[in-house]
Amino acid sequence: MRVPAPWPLLGALLTLWELRPCPAEAATRTYYLGIRDRMWNYAPERENRIAGRKIDSDPVASKFLSPGKDRIGGTYLKTVYLEYTDGSYATEVTRPRWLGFLGPVLRAEVGDTIRIHLRNFASRPYTIHPHGVFYEKDSEGTLDGGHTNHRRDVDREFFLLFSVVDENLSWHLEENIQRSCTDPASVDKEDKAFQESNRMHAINGYVFGNLPDLSMCAHEHVAWHLFGMGSEVDVHTAFFHGQMLTIRGHRTDVANLFPATFVAAEMVPQNSGTWLLSCQVGSHLRDGMQALYRVKVCSAVPRQPPLPGRLRQYFIASNEILWDYGPTGRDGSTGTSLKEPGSEAWKFFQKGPSRIGGKYLKVVYRGFTDATFTKEQPQSEEMKHLGLLGPVIKAEVGDTIQVVFYNRASRPYSIQPHGVFYQKAFEGTVYSNGSALSGLFAKPLERVTYLWTVPAHAGPTAVDPDCLTWLYSSAVDPVRDTNSGLVGPLLVCKPGTLTDSGKQKGVDKEFFLLFTIFDENESWYRDSNEKTAMLDPKQFSWDDVNFQESNKMHAVNGFLFSNLPRLDMCKGDRVSWHLLGLGTETDMHGAMFQGNTVQLYGMRKGAAMLFPHTFATVLMEPNNPGSFEIYCQAGRHLQAGMKAIYNVKQCRPDAPAARPRYQAARTYYIMAEEVEWDYSPDRSWERERHSEDGKESYGHVFLSKEGGLLGSKYKKAVYREYTDGSFTTASPRSSAEKHLGILGPLLRGEVGDILTIVFKNQASRAFSVHAHGVLEQGGSHVPYAEPGEVITYQWNIPEQSGPGPDDSACVPWIYYSAVDPIKDMYSGLVGPLAICRKGTLDPLGKRRDMDREFALLFLIFDENQSWYLQENVAVYGGRESDGSSLPNETFIESNKMHAINGKLYANLPGLTMHQGERVSWYLLAMGQDIDLHTVHFHAESVLYRNGKTHRADVVDLFPGTFEVVEMLASNPGTWLLHCHVADHIHAGMEGLFTVLPRKESVVIDPAQEIATSAAPAGSEQGQGTGTGFLLAVLEVSWGTGEEEKGSSEEGASSSPVGT
């Protein structure tokens, strides 16, 4: 679905500092902003500065930047914010060149008022909307000299936007075609190659290293404000080569960015030189999302004493091998053959004249005992699980790492690490530093030596785990090298953490798992694999989509369908899981641990999220014996085989004191019943918000019944609560439960409880109830109920299911039917579960510490995968139910319902609270890799935990992740709550929540509040003051010409931000 871009106007972060001690010093900060249409060049140097080549001689860069008869090239008409000195709008404020097409930086301290005078000189209506960014700092975060706009706690600061700017969705597309294409009539706007040429993988509006003036001095304190905007493809991993960052108290050299995600990173650069800053998502890196930053030596630096630790030597070679992704020939979870015709595995393992099958030529890192490279390092049984990965490199803070690399492969390769320090001479990435190509790599049969150090400022922080997980990989061509197989794990630990043999103290087992889709279409050995597999050129094509898909191996350490060996442990062991991510924007993985929970930064989790070049260290103390799966929660990835088995054995008798004591606490009676569900019963809000100039709303494709589309109504199965085991009387939903929508009841329990679920299946096919975060009787086997059958489940809640030491009082989980987890959930069977510390719940099962609880599931319900698709087609589509016309692209898209609790376009009721109330929000996500959701609360802020407590107004959700955030409702009005991913906004993933005045005040009718929530910008609806949250006061005056006449105050209207 093509919609106008939501980011034609981009401002940099609105930065807030701590409240100054004296409230009387609070300032009113005034800005004069103009909106103007301007021509913008994404690569003004006409050069790929990373590769050191002119655009016309670079085949990748020229695809985006060279104009032609049906190509726009690198220069586009855009609309930007500009700052002026006063209300005359005559003098533009000088701005740093690195800001690119971003608007000016707006700054304030908590307690200040921001007043913006906004004039629109552009060709269509625009506005301005801020996000409130709160963050804590160890040093005093005040502005220098009273009311000036310079921070005194840092030496330099930069604001960088990472975004795939889709010019196809710009308001100016037609004008850009007419202006830049030499034959505009030949342009096909729907042509995929044309559309791709207009997607600019930019940092502040610059591509391929053209971003200017990112310069700083060594040992300065530098603040980086990083953020993302855009759509589903805007998953970004910003990697700072050569330096380390601290983000929210944690050590890293990468920052994860998503639409409307804001990250404040601190750096004290140590190593001088010109360094690469890039998005490590494979396709984004290839397509130009790269910049250079320069660290200068500005003053004499005291000579650093030698590091006190030991020298750790590693001898690593690159070997070319034939790799088998499924060596057992069977699915380790089900026992079925990987070559079973028609199975999911068969798509990847069938062998024939048009398919390669599961065996591919690859190149891998392997460890050797010494510099002769004659004897390979023996691999212990515990390390057999490494599979494709190279040997584990380990070091402690204070150590020096020396890696001798022998390239025994047939093309140049290197080793580029994360998480350690190195001089420019030892960098393993090949790129231009502005004057010449740099990067240390080994040609075939050549040896090179890398020297890396681990100073204190590169090690784990006080709130980090004892060992930080990183990876190393080849970066001569980062995309093709890693898809070919060259990747390995690296561990950096606190001093004294490792034994002499290199094992972690206090840890019984260590496992290293890489979740990635190895794209064999992008391997250096693609042509060799074609020959080795003896493919028939007449029966296959590398351009065939189905053939390409068969070569995308959804692997854990290079194994599919539970073929990964030797993940064995004992009940009660202390297990450290080191998790790695790699790949492209589809490599968004929720590493889910069935049967046992893990701790991440002191918080209890069932899964850890991984993205390209991101890493996690999670701890497990398994208390549930049996064989369980580790899998990617994204449905398509699980179907494609991204899963493994881990085994928990009862190796020793439990000590009597260690045996948990459970007591029966709560019984729930739940029925699965089939209903007609309407995702959008009222379209008035949607049409008012999303229709323009009489055209259909963006929701038309999802809600219309034209052309055989199904509209907003579908048959679904839902969980509903009943009063007792007779299942004759449904429990009516109270006003506090109305918001649950399609979800089943909110189940609650405390640590030590036994939850009994009596389940009756009133639907027409077998279903079950399976929960995350509890101990289920029967282990990994979840019994199901046939139609009409009643079964009983018992869930025990051990300490490992409850909140971790740094969690809120209650943590959210989820329950759903697991007969077919994907189809059952898309059919509607899903509900929330909250597990609390002992003593948190009152006798009625409500939280004592909160006034309100809301559970929200952000999920794209894919009705194409529902059990009821054929019935829905027959009933609502007016077609025969043989499915003959189902594989229509528009039809398939129309059935993907971007819902909050099963409702679109603000149709979800019941999100109502009073000013001053404490509110707990349980935010849940499931689904596919497109289910990236950045949940934005307008006009209010929330507290969330990530090892520390942080304030924000956007919360990131991914498939299989469940977050709890807390709000002190402070700002009366009706406000938007939505996913900030552009595609999802237009597809209806929006709701409204209402903050009523304090209970002792006059109560406003919520229906009246909701009815007026869509008031136009000039209304007074929703105005108010927020506790600890700044609202900008806008004075807006619209102009249509290039020059403004009259006073800037003329015709100004006032509007609250956030309605």
3-class state of residue 1046 by DSSP: coil
Helices (H), 677-733: 684-690, 700-703
Structural domains of the chain ordered from first start: 14-139+151-296 (2.60.40.420), 311-649 (2.60.40.420), 664-964 (2.60.40.420)
Listed residue (83, 86, 63, 82) closest to 73, CA to CA: 63
The secondary element (H helix, E strand) that includes residue 993 is: strand 990-996
Q: How far apart are CA 500 and CA 479, in angstroms?
A: 36
Element (H, E) at 894: helix 889-894
pTM: 0.88
DSSP-assigned states of every residue in 505-519: TT-SEEEEEEEEEEE
What pLDDT score does 782 carry?
A: 87
User: Exposed, middle or buried, 232 (CB in 10 Å: 0-12/13-18/19+)?
Assistant: buried
Q: How far apart are CA 404 and CA 297, in angstroms?
A: 30
Q: Which amino acid is at 703?
A: L
Q: Look at residues 988, 987, 982 and name the one whose alpha carbon lies nearest to residue 165.
A: 982
**What span, in angstroms and rounded, lies between the C-alpha atoms of 933 and 1007?**
28
Interacting residues of 914 by C-beta distance below 8 A, sequence separation 6+: 851, 969, 995, 996, 997, 998, 999
pLDDT at 14: 55
Tokens 């190895």, residue? Answer: 518
CA Rg value for the chain: 29
User: CA angle, corner 439, sides to 435 and 440, nearest 5?
Assistant: 145
The secondary element (H helix, E strand) that includes residue 759 is strand 753-761
Structure tokens, 996: 């009523």
Q: Could you report the average pLDDT of every consecutive run of 10 residues in the chain (1059 residues)?
A: 48 48 65 96 96 94 96 97 96 96 90 89 90 37 41 91 96 96 96 97 98 96 95 94 93 93 93 95 96 93 84 98 98 95 95 94 98 95 96 97 98 98 94 85 98 94 94 97 98 96 94 98 96 89 92 98 95 96 93 92 89 95 93 93 96 72 89 98 91 73 91 98 97 96 97 96 98 84 94 94 90 96 97 96 93 97 97 82 61 96 97 96 93 92 83 90 94 94 94 90 39 32 28 34 33 32
Per DSSP, the residues of 528-581 read: HHHHHTT--TTT--TT-HHHHHHTEEEEETTB-TT-----EEETT--EEEEEEE
747, two tokens: 């189940």
Number of Cβ atoms within 10 Å of the Cβ of 429: 22
Q: Give residue 388's pLDDT.
A: 98
**Inter-residue contact 834 to 924 (CB < 8 Å):** no
* Phi and psi at residue 482, to the nearest 5°: -75, -40
Q: Within 13 Å of residue 1003, how many CA atoms lie on the same side as its CB?
A: 8
How far apart, in whole angstroms, are the C-alpha atoms of residue 896 and residue 887? 14
Of 222, 211, 260, nearest to 100 by C-alpha is: 211
User: Any idea which residue has 């249409």 for tokens?
Assistant: 37
Three-class HEC string of 740-756: HCCCCCCEEEECCEEEE
Q: How far apart are CA 924 and CA 364, in angstroms?
A: 38
- Say how far apart CA 401 and CA 167 lie, in whole Å: 46
